[in-house]
Chains A and B, each alone.
Chain A
Amino acid sequence: RKEVEQDPGPFNVPEGATVAFNCTYSNSASQSFFWYRQDCRKEPKLLMSVYSSGNEDGRFTAQLNRASQYISLLIRDSKLSDSATYLCVVNMGRDNAGNMLTFGGGTRLMVKP
């Protein structure tokens, strides 16, 4: 089983749609969770951190379910510019300082006019 697992997609949605991605992680001791966005042939960029209580940033909402070990990202009112690959990232705490990130393979989103 992969440490961080995502549906690779692609998710093809029309502009204005609401789309949700889920991600599962294997290490129940994981403490920090993030969503990164990666455009084609570019570096990943931090989209948002995921807090236990859930958090929202404009059209984006992230939620964490520790009991089931999954993280979700909801995008409302999709824009063409949201087309990208979304990476689920988990701090597995494997180094001495507990600061190692493990990346999922990414979920590709394509928003169509």
Chain B
Amino acid sequence: DGGITQSPKYLFRKEGQNVTLSCEQNLNHDAMYWYRQDPGQGLRLIYYSQIVNDFQKGDIAEGYSVSREKKESFPLTVTSAQKNPTAFYLCASRGQGNYEQYFGPGTRLTVT
């Protein structure tokens, strides 16, 4: 099946630890995005990548890092510098020539 996968579904970490969230797509989409959603709030853009080996900061990039070494993969690292990392993290992708984005199932990160 074609789609976007994110793993793990739930992730628990201690404060001060870096953690990497996985996002993989087999839709042959060029653009990929990472969003964060907090309870009762809208999605906020963390980072995006329009092509392999290139990525740009979104609205709330501080405390996060990404890489885009392969078209299919766009992992997000939540570093210890992120002050409030507990949130629902969503990865999305978009095909060339389209504006719609399609989402993976998300990773719910809890940092204590």
Contact = CB atoms under 8 A, between A and B. Distances in A.
Interface of A: 4, 8, 31-32, 34, 41-46, 49, 87, 91, 95-97, 99-101, 103-106
A20 to B, nearest CB: 20
Interface in B85-112: 88, 90, 94, 99-106, 108
B42 A46 contact: no
17 contacts: A4-B42, A8-B40, A32-B99, A43-B104, A44-B43, A44-B90, A45-B103, A46-B100, A46-B102, A49-B100, A96-B50, A99-B50, A99-B99, A100-B48, A101-B99, A103-B35, A106-B42
A44 B103 contact: yes
Q: Which 8 A-B pairs have the closest CB atoms?
A: A43-B103, A105-B42, A103-B43, A32-B99, A103-B42, A91-B99, A43-B106, A43-B105
A87 B104 CA distance: 16
B41 interface: yes
Most chain-A CB neighbours within 10 Å: which of B41, B42, B104? B42
Contacts of B103: 43-45
B52 interface: no
Interface of B: 31, 35, 40-43, 45, 48, 50, 56, 88, 90, 94, 99-106, 108
Contacts of B108: 41
A40 B90 CA distance: 14
A43 B90 contact: yes
B74 to A, nearest CB: 15
A99 B100 contact: no
A25 B13 CA distance: 37
Nearest to A104: B42
